[in-house]
Structure 1
């Protein structure tokens, strides 16, 4: 089983924290800490809070302050200002769905571990030329899924991925069995209805199942 890390200094280490990185959308900032605590109680001590809602930055700040056993990161970083704002809020890592030079520059400038998003071989090669060896593969299922990642392991053996997008508890083990996959990103650990209802028991149970995928 992978060792739980509570601090990371490189993107490669991010891939070793948990077999599943919860990708979380929060509409109410008061849900942030209970959700993070429930995930941690289930053995998943990492959370990617997406910058898709107005409360995301405050949610990151609260989790960083109140759930120190959990690594909190910002996802859906799509503009340079997002990288800067996330770092200021206390994010410990950054994740993008895709890459532009300006986003790569801004994310790198924060000094935080960073998973740049790619979906093609050319994108992966371009990002690798910038010195990145740990990448997000998004949208995973729509971009070819397990078969695609298996096919590029030969020509791009130095790269490792966190595939995200359309992955389920059933498909996650197939991804995790690939030599070039360190972890997967998933939304299923924090269902919208469970988050809204404050059903932390359900979230903890889903986290326990996800943590067990480490084998």
Structure 2
């Protein structure tokens, strides 16, 4: 009853990506290619598995899987300029991550993490290990991220290109300022509005947020 993941995004080539969380079974699902949980998947729009998926031909593997070692990705988007698929996922008491999704990569959960057990205490081997990806960015403490968008309009001035992430736990929209492919600043927007479930760029060029139990709102600078 937890860690469903369940986010979707299309890339520029027409492939559909979606996330499945590790369902709370951290020690069995995310590192096992034979099990469904803790993965990002890539399929054709009719459900077929692409023949160039990284685990096609691997005995017993989930061939629709594109990455593994993911915890609970509740944000996913395609970069409006490069087309790269980017996700963020919940960590335990810290260690929420943003990751650029690369074929066949292991994102480390639960072997490496910047978080700790609920109630305190380390559980991961370390924060880094050979053969496992480092996050593009991580939060300590956790903000419980949900929803992900990249501003792709000059309507918001110098916000263009920044990342938007909703916070379930602290009930605000976070904006990450991006420069030279790294985060240089964090800012809270619409602080205290409620548990943000999603954020999207609308076809009209406005930012839209979905707030749990309240509805959908647009944001103007």
Taking CA–CA contacts closer than 8 Å with sequence separation of 6 or more, which of the two structures ends up with the larger relative contact order?
Answer: 1
TM-score of the superposition, structure 1-length normalised?
Answer: 0.31
More strand by share: 2
